[in-house]
Structure 1
Amino acid sequence: MFPLNFRPGLALAVAGLLGGCVVGPDYAGPPVAAPRAETGAPFVRATSTRMVAVDPPARWWTSLRDPILSDLVEEALATNTNVQVASARLRQSRAVLGQRTADLAPSISTNTVALNNQVPVRDFVGGGLGGLAGGAGGAIPKSMNFDLYNASFDATWEIDIFGGKQRAIEQAAAQGEAAEAAVADAQVQVAAEVAQAYVTLRGAQRRLALTLRAASLQREAVGLSQQRLAGGAASSLDVERLRTQFETTASQAPAFQAQIDQSLNQIAVLVSREPGAVDALLKPARSVPMPPSTLAVGDPAGMLRRRPDIRRAERQVAAANAQIGQAVAKLFPKVNLIGNAGWVSPNIGSIGSLAASTYNLGPTLSWSILDFGRTLAQIRQSEAGTDEALAQYEQTVLQAMQDAETALSRYGNQRATVARLARASASAGKASMLTDQRNTAGTISTIDVLDVERQRLQAEQSLAQAQAEYTNDYVALQKSLGLGWGLPTERVALVQR
């Protein structure tokens, strides 16, 4: 350790000569995990002419043209607890960055001391000294009392010669940006969950209404069949067959009602309310919102830049890389500038005077030479952590590509399914109309009419299910494209609070 009276000019010169070196690897960016996608190639599964390679809108739920859904999504993005948790973690990360930045500055403290001292003089100066004192005619006092006052300012500054603290700032900054991406990812997830729960609710309400209508028709058919049995125009087998159809259809209603209740509860919690709080708003049935006729999907390169989970994984790679530098910096000595300035006097009135002033300033050097083995192990651990983060980043990119391509395929194929079922439903509607005309002319029985109507309702049931799945596939596609975060302005304010 250097003496404390080391000259300030020399200390600053040492700091200037040694400063500015940052050890450890500099971050060079993430690896190319999807070469084809990052060159601007289109999506492989975007084969429909209704899928266009233009940037999709961030607030994709507005394209469903359902104001209730739009209000619910906006409310969830502002109040959802998962978003709030992610926002709180972001604020924590920013506070850590502030701490790491402050570590570069000197630490200054002040101390004030007022002491009354009693020293046992006789025990220390007895013997020979006592004889001298006695010979001179003076008695040695048993103890001596005196006051001591001190007021001082202490400063410590660790000079970041090898960049360990700078790497810590880099790591904290990257972790803060990863936390910001986590907020965006939470917004993407919440927007999709609200929309899918809403679509599932509307689909279940529609299917429940169709089921109750079909059960009513089948109950009517059972009654007519019983009348025909009494008149000898039908058999017991006909009655039981119709009764079986009725009971089977009626048994589906409780399942749809349970799905409705589940969706209502889920939506309430997603907007941070208690179950039942949105029942009055959502229990009146509405049709399933349908996607737009033309779908903007962009390209894979835009999707990779936009998805917050990829951004988060990339920032975690940068944070892990910075940690290597922190570990490497421990191989080198640490230099601190320490200083003290103040006043010391047995008289409180002298505090603040030039005569009572005191100061010292100089560097200290510490070097944990015997800890090299431990430090090298920490370096290897940090390097392995960076390799892990790189592998996770590549996996996140590839998983994102899989999600998007699969969502595009499901959406395109489900669109074709809905089109076919719509044609089947229209055909069943025409058959029902023709059956009514024949029944009016007296050429077929009422039971035949009811059976055709039952088939029409079954076609509508299949179409309603397919439409709900189609819209949910649309929602899943928007989620896979990384849409639904950063807007509107209120959500940015929520994150920054």
Structure 2
Amino acid sequence: MAEIVSATAKPLARRCASLLVAFSVSACTVVGPNYVRPASDIAPDWQSSSMVPVPKQTGDMAQWWKHFNDPVLNGLIDEALRKNHSAKIAALRVMEARAQLEIAGSNLYPQLQQATGSALYAARRPSGGVTSSQWNYSAGVNIGWELDFWGRFQRGIEAADANYLASLDSYDDAQILLVTQTATIYAAIRTLESRLNIVHGNADIQRRSLEITEHLFKSGNESELDLQQAKTQYLSTVASIPALEASLRTTQNALAVILARPPGPLPEMASGVGVIPQANLLMVADLPADLLRRRPDVRTAEMQLMAQSALIGVAQADLYPSLTLLGSLGVSAASISGSPTTAALSAGPSFTWNIFDYGRIRNNVRVQDARFQELAELYQDSVLQAAGEVDNAAVSYAKSLEQVSLLDQGEVAAKRALAIANIQYREGMADFERVLDAQRALFSQQERVVTNRGDVVGNLIAVYKAMGGAWQVARPEPFLDDATKKTMKERTNWGDLLDVPLPATDADPMTRK
């Protein structure tokens, strides 16, 4: 056996050296287009003109919600990032893409790996003779390795890598959506609470007017008309309370779902009831055009485009012949005394070329190219849509800010008008209709003030969402909780894939790996 191995060692070494040379050559031959980022329809220096007159302050945009200085909001967002089911689904899709990337990478190694073995026992007993037995043993290994001459496997790895990056971008996008939804719903709850406070306050004012007119009517100093008008206005105001309370509960339930909690009011929101969070827009260091390209949904569109570019190369590689190195090593022996132990080694190339499938393969290349162009258009559309969102959110925020001082002045004037109307009514200088008008005007103005304050917060949150803020905060954190990782490891051998942290995200998707 030793002589056989020695005799075959040198040819095997030569074959291995030839294999390494062929592999080196194959690594330099990659068919298909190399990805080039398409020119954007948005100019590099584009920025929304609506953001220029908006007051700004400096700060960390990655955690913009902390500038509201609301500990309750901060705690709710932290909880949402940890517990929300949609965020966990996005994280699990990252793990799926990681495993797919490992599969693609395995194609660079021998694809056929097969071990065989057998044992045969035979016994014979001649008539009247002694029983004789015999064992035969054999074992072998078959290996097949397709060389990546045309870069099909390398392009497959590029596509899997781009899909992995796209899954990371989708994960980032889920973080943005989660943070902005939590902040938006929180602000909506506070706005509804403030509106309820206003309704109750105006109902108290109108109830006192009703009590006065009722007393005057019973004493014969006032007509029934004033009483019924006061009663109508009071009951109309009180009747709006149930609808607001229903809206409040519905909004609270929406926030509970995001936090993966049972429906109902949140205990931590019992403090600060009706206080709408306020903050100014943070100073943006980068140009909005750069921020657009860093938005996770835009990055996802580009990574999908990059993956499709690689798939064109995968399809084109089928136009060329493939070379597979096949080899087998076998050993056989028998238990009969004096029988030889033999070893066999064979190796050689296998040449495959789908010449008669040329039309099908060529059209498959065209299919992949058409899909690439479709995704290129989708990428351009995503950039334009993102720019539109930024401008819409910026102009809404700027215009809602313009209303703040005007509405505040209007509320002050409405309060003063009601006070004057009450004085003139008591002194007999005005009828009760003036009081009712003043009460309605105050109620309406206070409603507008509160609604406007809620709009300012909502539009500010929309600006941050449009500019892609908040995704950076999730990357350093564990993207799967310990309980989920433990369950998955007990079910399947994941190795260390579940423990590898997410890669840091660079500003340019072309440099991220």
Return the TM-score normalized by structure 2: 0.82
Q: Tell whether 2:46 aligns with 1:45.
A: no
Give me the whole-angstrom Cα distance separating, in 2, the residues matched to 1:294 and 1:446.
49
Q: Tell whether 2:369 aligns with 1:418.
A: no
Give me the whole-angstrom Cα distance separating, in 1, the residues matched to 2:321 and 2:415.
86
Q: Tell whether 2:233 aligns with 1:245.
A: yes
Task: Give the superposition deviation at 1:381.
Answer: 0.8
Q: Tell whether 2:102 aligns with 1:105.
A: no
Task: Give the superposition deviation at 1:418.
Answer: 1.6
Aligned residues: CA RMSD: 3.2
Structure-to-structure mapping, 1:56-455, within 5 angstroms? 57-107=61-111, 108-116=113-121, 147-276=135-264, 279-284=266-271, 285-292=273-280, 296=284, 298-347=286-335, 355-431=341-417, 452=438, 455=441
Task: Give the superposition deviation at 1:213.
Answer: 2.0
Q: What stretches of structure 1 of length at least 5 have no aligned partner?
A: 1-6, 120-138
- Worse-superposed segment, 444-453 or 392-401: 444-453
Q: Is the 8 A contact 1:268 1:274 kept in 2?
A: yes
Q: Pick from 8, 15, 30 the counterpart of residue 38 of structure 2.
A: 30
Q: Is the 8 A contact 2:29 2:149 kept in 1?
A: yes
Q: Is the 8 A contact 1:78 1:491 kept in 2?
A: no
Aligned length: 462
Q: Is the 8 A contact 2:192 2:274 kept in 1?
A: no
Query: Which protein has greater RCO, CA pairs closer than 8 Å, 6+ apart?
Result: 1
Question: In 2 relative to 1, CA 293–194 (structure 1 residues): closer, same or farther, beyond 3 Å?
Answer: closer
Counterpart code for 1:380: R
Task: Give the superposition deviation at 1:471.
Answer: 0.5
Return the TM-score normalized by structure 1: 0.84
Q: Is the 8 A contact 2:417 2:438 kept in 1?
A: yes
Superimposed CA distance per residue, residues 292-337 of structure 1 (whole angstroms, 9 cap, x where no aligned partner): 2765474222312321111111111100111100111111112111
Give me the whole-angstrom Cα distance separating, in 1, the residues matched to 2:134 and 2:22.
42
Question: In 2 relative to 1, CA 367–407 (structure 1 residues): closer, same or farther, beyond 3 Å?
Answer: same
Give me the whole-angstrom Cα distance separating, in 2, the residues matched to 1:348 and 1:207.
99
Counterpart code for 2:32: G
Give me the whole-angstrom Cα distance separating, in 2, the residues matched to 1:62 and 1:189.
17
Q: Is the 8 A contact 2:86 2:174 kept in 1?
A: yes
Q: Is the 8 A contact 1:153 1:340 kept in 2?
A: yes
Give me the whole-angstrom Cα distance separating, in 2, the residues matched to 1:481 and 1:66.
22
Provide the secondary structure at the position in 1 that maps to 2:200. helix
- Worse-superposed segment, 460-469 or 385-394: 460-469
Counterpart code for 2:334: P
Counterpart code for 2:449: L
Q: Is the 8 A contact 2:33 2:309 kept in 1?
A: yes
Question: In 2 relative to 1, CA 89–17 (structure 1 residues): closer, same or farther, beyond 3 Å?
Answer: closer
Task: Give the superposition deviation at 1:380.
Answer: 1.0
Give me the whole-angstrom Cα distance separating, in 2, the residues matched to 1:236 and 1:440.
17
Counterpart code for 1:83: A
Provide the secondary structure at the position in 1 that maps to 2:119. strand
Give me the whole-angstrom Cα distance separating, in 1, the residues matched to 2:50 and 2:336.
85
Q: Which has more radius of gyration?
A: 1
- Worse-superposed segment, 319-328 or 330-339: 330-339
